[in-house]
Structure 1
Amino acid sequence: MSTPAVREIIEIDEDLCVGCGNCVPSCHQGALQIIDGKARLISDLMCEGIGVCVGTCPTGAMRIERRPAEPYDEIRVMEKIAAAGPNVIKAHLEHLQQHRQDRYLAQALEYLAAHDLPDPLQATDSPGGHPPQGGCPGAAARTLGAAAGSGHPAAGTPAASTASATPAGTAAGASATPAPPVAKTAPGSELRQWPVQLHLLNPAAGYLQHADLLLAADCSAFASGDFHDRFLRGKALAIACPKLDDGQDIYLHKLIRMIEDARINTLTVLIMEVPCCSGLLRMAQAATAQAARKVPVKCIVLSLEGEVIQEDWV
């Protein structure tokens, strides 16, 4: 008999919480906010239970709870969110908007209508109480450039190069639900989303759904003068350093979730010729080996001068 899957998630004891805010910057996913003087988990969907926030709490109000890994249920989440008051409801809806979770946002609004609760997104001012304090702005998920409007490269741009080609037999992925542009990239930039560092990426973000993912070593963009046009065009981006970054078990877990939950189409690993960079390819291969579904993986190796010296589907 197989062991039931378990997920870990943060639980907050409201009686012990003093609203100091120490926990908020430690949440890479922006799932924690201080609202009405207390720490609130505004996104059950985004909380990965890593637990960095637990160690920052001076009163012991936070702990990691282990639960059966059930499918996400927005209505059940709204029952808990609604009990915490209108400010928490608003923060939760805004978080769903920012992460382009349109289906869950629609369910949340249906819950409000069914229970005769006002839609705080339509209000000009927040209800009474202290204004919410968000997480690190640098970790807030955003869709950039042409991808913000259509989910595709801008019309008239050349097709993706061989570095981004999908192998024969691989189906093209459907784009996430379009959303209004929230930012524009500089001329020549092919960056489609923010953030890009793998620790800050959430596998549930809309821009990762059915995406072709480029997993690039930190140094690669500096070595390659045509990084954007040759390697990044049409792809979501994650950057990491297999030698210097801590928490690589978290990286592995995130890549597995991107394959299984976000259902990325392809995974391209861009590394330098130095030996330590090969750890990024091994991580990608381990993720594809452990994931329940399989995706094709391409490895591109750059010389220190930025020239492609190896390019293979592995």
Structure 2
Amino acid sequence: MIRKIIEIDEEKCNGCGLCAKACHEGAIAIVNGKAKLMRDDFCDGFGDCLPACPMDAIHFTEREAAAYDEKAVQANKQKKSACSGFTCPGSALQSFTPKEDDSDVRVPGCLRQFPIQIKLLPTNAPYFNGADLLIAADCTAYAYGNFHHDFIRGKITLIGCPKLDAVDYAEKLTEIFRNNDIKSITLTRMTVPCCGGMEYAIKRAIEASGKDIPLEVAVISPDGSIVEIRK
């Protein structure tokens, strides 16, 4: 059917993610640093995303598109529902609502070493050899409710924020990758543009180390949803 639907100009898009947050239907996600309409049938054509875009990169167009499917949208919302209140329906750990009499409930952490800040870590610690690394942008652990279980578990953890730390992560990471037998790297980053600096530093470091280390990137939105996983 021919209907009104959004169109995103990737040349103008700065990847800020505000449109994805404004889209109540979940039709938009950030893919490779750019906003993308994921499914035509998730777009209701009302345009809540338009005023949210600071770059004027979203406009309406009329074209052949699948009809808006409210049932599919609701099913997707339930699937991706983030933590609400004290309960986390999507958590792989048993969710619970704290009460006055369960103050002693503890969820065990999965951290395997300390320190974890990139700028404080040694470059040749024994725990690096044969390790799967998690390199996390600072905010991801706060945005994603089940971070320890889904990302930290079984990995050596490094955290940092290229916008706040006045250091070149690529230099430190190059030494870590070069001096140790790193099996794999997982990066968790936010949808915001400044997290692109972390991804860029890791890729530079892998190249400079002269090694072929598998890299997986998980992109997390401010509401705690994983909007993209790429290798």
Q: TM-score, normalised by structure 1?
A: 0.39
SS in 1 for 2:172: helix
Q: What stretches of structure 1 move > 2 A for 4+ residues in a row? A: none
State the alpha-carbon separation in 1 of the partners of residues 197 and 170 from structure 2: 11
Q: 1:232 aligns with which of 133, 140, 152?
A: 152
Residue 161 of structure 2 corresponds to 241
RMSD between aligned alpha carbons?
1.4
State the alpha-carbon separation in 2 of the partners of residues 209 and 258 from structure 1: 10
State the alpha-carbon separation in 2 of the partners of residues 311 and 213 from structure 1: 16
Residue 214 of structure 2 corresponds to 296
State the alpha-carbon separation in 2 of the partners of residues 229 and 308 from structure 1: 15
Q: Mark the runs of 5 or more structure 2 residues left unpaired by the alignment.
A: 1-91, 93-105
Q: Mark the runs of 5 or more structure 1 residues left unpaired by the alignment.
A: 1-160, 162-185
User: 1:204-243 alignment to 2 at 5 Å?
Assistant: 204-243=124-163
State the alpha-carbon separation in 1 of the partners of residues 210 and 192 from structure 2: 31
Percent of aligned positions that are identical: 38
**1:232 alignment partner AA:** I
Residue 268 of structure 1 corresponds to 186
Q: Which structure carries more relative contact order (alpha carbon 8 Å, separation 6+)?
A: 2
Kindly indicate whether the alpha-carbon contact (under 8 Å) linking 1:259 and 1:294 is maintained by their aligned counterparts in 2: no
Q: 1:195 aligns with which of 108, 115, 129?
A: 115
State the alpha-carbon separation in 2 of the partners of residues 285 and 196 from structure 1: 20
Deviations 1:199-230 (A, max 9, x none): 01012111111110111001110101100001
Q: 1:287 aligns with which of 200, 205, 221?
A: 205
**2:223 alignment partner AA:** E
Structure 1 or 2: larger helix share? 1
State the shift of 1:258 in Å: 1.8
State the alpha-carbon separation in 2 of the partners of residues 296 and 187 from structure 1: 30
State the alpha-carbon separation in 2 of the partners of residues 188 and 305 from structure 1: 23
Structure 1 or 2: larger strand share? 2
State the alpha-carbon separation in 1 of the partners of residues 203 and 167 from structure 2: 17
Q: How many residues align?
A: 127
State the alpha-carbon separation in 2 of the partners of residues 206 and 306 from structure 1: 33
Q: TM-score, normalised by structure 2?
A: 0.53
State the alpha-carbon separation in 1 of the partners of residues 156 and 109 from structure 2: 13
